Structure 1
Amino acid sequence: MKNYLHLWSLSALLILTGCATTSQPEANNSEAEVQSTASHTPNYPRGPLSPINSASVQRNGVANLAVPDDLWDRIRRGFAMPDLQNDLVSNQEQWYASRPDYIQRMTQRSSKYMFHIVEELERRGMPTELALLPYIESAYNPQAVSSAKAAGMWQFMPSTGTYFELKQNMFRDDRRDVLASTRAALDYLQKLYNMFGDWHLALAAYNWGEGSVGRALARNQKQGLGMGYTDLNMPDETRNYVPKLQAVKNIIARPENFQTELPLIENHPYFQAVTLDRDIDTAQVAELAGVTMDELKSLNPSFNKPVIFKAGTPQVLLPWDNANVFRRNLQAHEKGQYASWTVWTVPSTMTVATAAGMVGMSEGDLRAVNNIPPRMMVKGGSALMVPRSAAVKQDVSSHLADNAHIALTPEIVTRRTTVKARKHDSVTGIAQRYKVTAAQVADWNDVGVKAAFKAGQQVVLYLPVRVGAERHAGNHNSHAASRSSKAGKPSKDSSAKKSTARSTPTKAAPSKRSTATTKKKR
């Protein structure tokens, strides 16, 4: 009987211990690791459970169910990447630790955005170390722009931003948007992790480009070398990329070891999104919410115009309490027009002065609000920000809000010029010689398109003169006329009579794009 009771007690103990073991992860795995593993290996074997044997029974740690005191504690609990330990990490630790003011500014700036990023990482089952990546990329500055034209907290290149559906147009740049850029960055990082199966390699690809990392791995495999992050031959920027993140992680994990004090970031949302039902001026949003324009722009850094078009940007981020104030004030605000700006599509290529006159603005104001540089004309089809009159009842359409753009061309004027026709000259021949159309020559001289000119007949032309060269036109024309009279041949620049210059838009010469390359491929 005693042996029976002993065996029964031992069996019960094994069963109870086994239940506890299967209900929680192993002691050296965090919750984020378990979630991450589940998200990347969805096809688990199915069928009846195997019986528990003594070899599979082990004691595990007790899960910490207490709510984190602050966001730093919450981030530390979600660390799931393997630690990197080498001299590069030590060098980066020393660099950051010797700049406590810099760390204070970075961490203080991140306090507005960190909660949202940590929430997204935990929802996706990703390591919370990734919440520290914007420290490396941009010092958590959503307005940061690199020399390679990468923008925002997560430093997206224009092409990569487009691939991950970040809108970039004249009204907004979603690479700077807090919600959109975070979504895109985590999508990209998940994609890279699925490709390489290693977070250090995924981070290297985020910095260097997935193609570059793939080729480096292929070279190492061919040469029989290691396939880890530290084994690859890579640019210095990428070689120091993960060590920088590791150094920041170490400082966040144990700030006292680096004589660093982290600012308090409370474990609750800093902002909330408010849906917009109408186009509205950004200044009015700030006024109704009771926040400064600087605060509004810090949460909505993608806005680059004085108006928010609800068709393209249906929500605005506001500090948590101010969002409720905004909703109440917006409801109490009299119904009507909230936006004092709208978009006007330019019907044809014209000077800025002409466009300003058509919309009732000064040329200077139109240039300023649309960022039009001097000596440039606006091409037909361009979208310009203009004041919204009371007669305009409809808000800007979603198509225009998403696709509006400004196309510019160098401002070119024409000068009335007369030339002497040669023997057997025709309208077509002169048009070809001076690179204008036959219809224009015919119109300027009140003749038919197929007409011919007599030798020595005065032919009127309006030839383009760039604004910058206009001041030299008088001397140039007189010299050309002198040369042509001596040679007995007319000069295309000779003129017998001048009149007021008039605008004749022409296609601009293609601008040369920079061919400079950069190590960062995103």
Structure 2
Amino acid sequence: MSEWKDVNPGGLVGLFLGALLVGSGIPGEGLCAGAEQVEDHKQGTQAVPPTNQPTDSSETAGQSKSAAVQSENLDTAGVPEALESDSPATDLELQPEVMLEAPVRASARPWRFAESFTPLRELAPTPVPTADPADGAEPSIFNVPTDLNHKVERHIRFFNVAIRDRFEEWLTRLNHYKPLVDRILSEFDLPSDLVFLSLVESGFNPHAYSRARATGPWQFMRSTAKLYGLRVDDYVDERRDPIKSTVAAARYLRDLHDLFGTWPLAMAAYNAGEGKVLRALQKTQADSFWEIAQTRHLRRETREYVTRILAASMIAKNPDRYGFSQAQSDLHEFEEVVVRRPILLQDLAKVTGVSSHEFRRLNPELRRGVTPPDDAEYHLKVPVGTKATIEPLLDRVPSWKVSTSAGTGGQDRGGSPEWYRVRVGDSLWTIARRFRLSVQDLRARNNLTSRRIKPGDLLAIGP
């Protein structure tokens, strides 16, 4: 049996079949040619030259055309006449027009869910914008490496698909404040693209409040706000003031840029704090934000921060490209009147006929809906064109006085309490029910954007 070890079984089968064909009178030429072709195909697949080595172009072309003729012979049903020509294989030319007219086989049909994963037309990869100084354009402050463009595209898709409705509200609100912010940034000689930092931080919502207790359109923490001159107390929170908070943000960003030297590092420090960015640079011995963004020394939110701002800026600058409307928003305009005693905005609205909602919208820094009692003069913002009407009526507005019962939980013996100090176990629902108010009315009186209250808070209840 050892002499059979080197015998190829396939060869024996071929000889056996050949003998049968010869005995039956059928020419065996076609079978031999087919066998040789199969052997050549196997050898070709096993000995494909590396891509960096030269190959004979004429031989390659001949093999590809032979393969085309072979596939034609296997199935010619329904194939256009151009592919059924009797011309030699070397003369066969496949025209693109003919190939498009060929019927699609069942096996070649696209996966039925493929369209769900096809990128939207407006989301086609776009190069990160860079300004040419020769054109007089403002240079880009992001300096995103080209190998990180996929992150920018991912954030664009998130804004454009996942939170599209919310982002459209952000754009509308930004257009309301953008001319004002641009003017402030220009006065501080800062890049105008920094306005999009507030778009990512809060959607430029004056009442935005984070889990870390950062507040306002620029999301200032209390300590940082006071460091940059913003007033934060029981009656006034200037972190919510669009103008004063923007001035403070401009000063803070200017200081961060002076400290780090680049805008990506300055923006990362704005998000995480300068201490964390300095420690990350020291531990990694890096010089740029993009180097430390590849490490675990920064939170994921901070690592993605700059690319997210860039993605938001690309949509805000070209809303039509991404399918967002360019509806014109009313600009943030107002007049000011000087109030020399504490008054409730609700009382002012009753006397002047101006909506109390409009007073609250223009003065989001007033936490209790009342001008601060300790200020000898307070500049209250009023709608454009109403100053001349409101000023003569200020004397008719009743003065507001702090209830002496506020410290005892708001239980006033002589009448309805004006203020209530929150106790342990209180909620907006229980407080509203106690004083026969709705939760919505209680939140509106106190400019509350959430249902969170804590013991010691002072809530306006009446009159």
Distance (Å, rounded) in 2 between the aligned partners of 1:112 and 1:290:
25
Is the CA contact 2:423–2:456 (under 8 Å) kept in the aligned structure 1? no
The CA deviation at 1:311 is: 5.0
Alignment map for 1:405-424 (pairs within 5 Å)? none
Alignment match, 1:176: 240
Kindly indicate whether residue 404 of structure 2 is the aligned counterpart of residue 340 of structure 1: no
**Higher RCO (Cα < 8 Å, 6 or more apart):** 1
Q: CA RMSD in A?
A: 3.1
Alignment match, 2:262: 198
Distance (Å, rounded) in 2 between the aligned partners of 1:121 and 1:372:
40
> Which of 198, 214, 219 is 2:278 aligned to?
214
Extract unaligned runs of 5+ from structure 1.
Answer: 1-26, 30-59, 64-76, 377-405, 410-522
CA 1:200 to 1:141, structure 2 compared with 1: closer, same or farther past 3 Å? same
Kindly indicate whether residue 356 of structure 2 is the aligned counterpart of residue 356 of structure 1: no
The CA deviation at 1:317 is: 2.7
* Percent of residue pairs bearing the same amino acid type: 28
Is the CA contact 1:288–1:329 (under 8 Å) kept in the aligned structure 2? no
Kindly indicate whether residue 362 of structure 2 is the aligned counterpart of residue 299 of structure 1: yes
The CA deviation at 1:218 is: 1.7
Alignment map for 1:109-258 (pairs within 5 Å)? 109-221=173-285, 226-232=286-292, 233=295, 234-258=298-322
Distance (Å, rounded) in 1 between the aligned partners of 2:287 and 2:352:
53
Distance (Å, rounded) in 2 between the aligned partners of 1:203 and 1:220:
19
Alignment match, 1:28: 132
- What whole-Å deviation, never above 9, does each CA across 1:263-317 have from its counterpart, x for those lacking one? 3247x65334443344332124445665433332222212122321375472223
The CA deviation at 1:131 is: 1.2
> Which of 370, 376, 385 is 2:420 aligned to?
370
Alignment match, 1:9: none
Is the CA contact 2:351–2:397 (under 8 Å) kept in the aligned structure 1? no
Aligned partner of 1:228: which letter? S
Aligned partner of 1:192: which letter? L
Distance (Å, rounded) in 2 between the aligned partners of 1:114 and 1:311:
33
Alignment match, 2:160: 97
Aligned residue for 1:343, secondary structure, equals coil
Distance (Å, rounded) in 2 between the aligned partners of 1:370 and 1:182:
33
Distance (Å, rounded) in 1 between the aligned partners of 2:265 and 2:190:
15
CA 1:269 to 1:152, structure 2 compared with 1: closer, same or farther past 3 Å? closer
Distance (Å, rounded) in 2 between the aligned partners of 1:113 and 1:286:
24
Aligned partner of 2:372: which letter? F
CA 1:219 to 1:296, structure 2 compared with 1: closer, same or farther past 3 Å? same
Extract unaligned runs of 5+ from structure 2.
Answer: 1-130, 427-453, 458-463
Distance (Å, rounded) in 2 between the aligned partners of 1:185 and 1:143:
16
TM-score by length of 2: 0.56
Distance (Å, rounded) in 1 between the aligned partners of 2:265 and 2:213:
24
Distance (Å, rounded) in 1 between the aligned partners of 2:303 and 2:262:
16
Count of residues paired in the alignment? 291
Alignment match, 1:11: none
The CA deviation at 1:337 is: 5.6
The CA deviation at 1:204 is: 0.2
Alignment map for 1:396-435 (pairs within 5 Å)? none
The CA deviation at 1:193 is: 0.6
> Which of 339, 342, 366 is 1:279 aligned to?
342
The CA deviation at 1:134 is: 1.6
TM-score by length of 1: 0.50
Aligned partner of 2:381: which letter? L
